Amino acid sequence: MVQRQLRERDITDERVLAAMERVPRELFVPADLREHAYKDAALPIGGGQTISQPYMVARICEALALTGRERVLDVGSGSGYQAAVIAELAAEVDTIERIPELAEVARANLTAAGYDRVRVHIGDGTRGLPERAPFDAIAVAAAAPELPQALYDQLEPRGRLVVPVGRRRVQRLEVVVRSPEGPAIVRSVPCRFVPLVGEQGFNGG
Ligand code: SAH
């Protein structure tokens, strides 16, 4: 997976590549899909949601430019996989999921894989996590119609927010840096994520 899907494409951050070598992805997919865990694809995890494609996880993590000292918020816990990869790259990780059953799945998967220091919260992640803010970096694993302002507001100065922004079926990954002049936005790869549902996301499922 790391060689063919990440390195031979355009992932170059050695810390990200090493983190993705270490996290056992098979522990984050439903038991009946284990044999497909390392495929170049998103996979269903229940509740109409998916564990993201490995490449998109790597892309998001690379865009966060983590050094190991950061406090990070992961929005859209799903299986917990992306939170585990971030835990390999940063000091502290909080992750928030709107579907309580999936938050439970994420918590169980993270514990089974040895990442019980990741804090799993239930709630609308489009509002961020005010009680733990500010964050050095925020990763969003679901598509937003526009830049979620509450998340930007919870960044440290020079903090980074990585979020797919666009329409329901197609988006671009945006890398946003908080600066005194306002958000500095770099549009990255086209992508397709499940919708971010909430106050500053899409309405309904
Ligand atoms: N990072 C996950 C990807 C899960 S897919 C993984 O590695 O498996 C995106 C997740 O975002 C879904 O579980 C969905 O329920 C969740 N989600 C959607 N809108 C949300 C919101 N407003 N707040 C928190 N989670 C949300």
Would you call 52 a catalytic residue per the annotation? yes
Residue 125 CA: which ligand 1 atom is closest?
23
* pLDDT digits 0-9 by tens, 1-27: 999 999 999 999 999 999 999 999 999
In-domain check, residue 46: yes
In-domain check, residue 203: no
Distance of CA 3 from the midpoint of ligand 1 (Å): 27
Looking at residue 46, its pLDDT comes to 94
Residue-by-residue DSSP string for the chain: -IIIIIITTT---HHHHHHHHHS-GGGGS-GGGGGGTTSSS-EEEETTEEEPPHHHHHHHHHHHT--S--EEEEE--TTSHHHHHHHHHSSEEEEEESSHHHHHHHHHHHHHTT-TTSEEEES-GGG--GGG--EEEEEE-SBBSS--HHHHHTEEEEEEEEEEEE-SS-EEEEEEE--TTS-EEEEEEEE--PBPBSTTSBS--
pLDDT at 166 over 90: yes
In-domain check, residue 200: no
In-domain check, residue 137: yes
* pLDDT digits 0-9 by tens, 150-161: 999 999 999 999
In-domain check, residue 154: yes
Distance of CA 181 from the midpoint of ligand 1 (Å): 30
What does the pLDDT average to over 168-174? Answer: 95
Q: Which CATH number is 144's domain given?
A: 3.40.50.150
In-domain check, residue 202: no
Q: How confident is the model at residue 203 (pLDDT cuts 50, 70, 90)?
A: confident
In-domain check, residue 52: yes
* pLDDT digits 0-9 by tens, 96-128: 999 999 999 999 999 999 999 999 999 999 999
Q: Which residues line ligand 1 (CB under 6 A)?
A: 49-52, 75-76, 78-79, 81-82, 96-99, 102, 124-126, 141-142, 194, 196-198, 201
In-domain check, residue 199: no
pLDDT at 204 over 80: no
pLDDT at 205 over 60: no
Number of folded domains that form the chain: 1
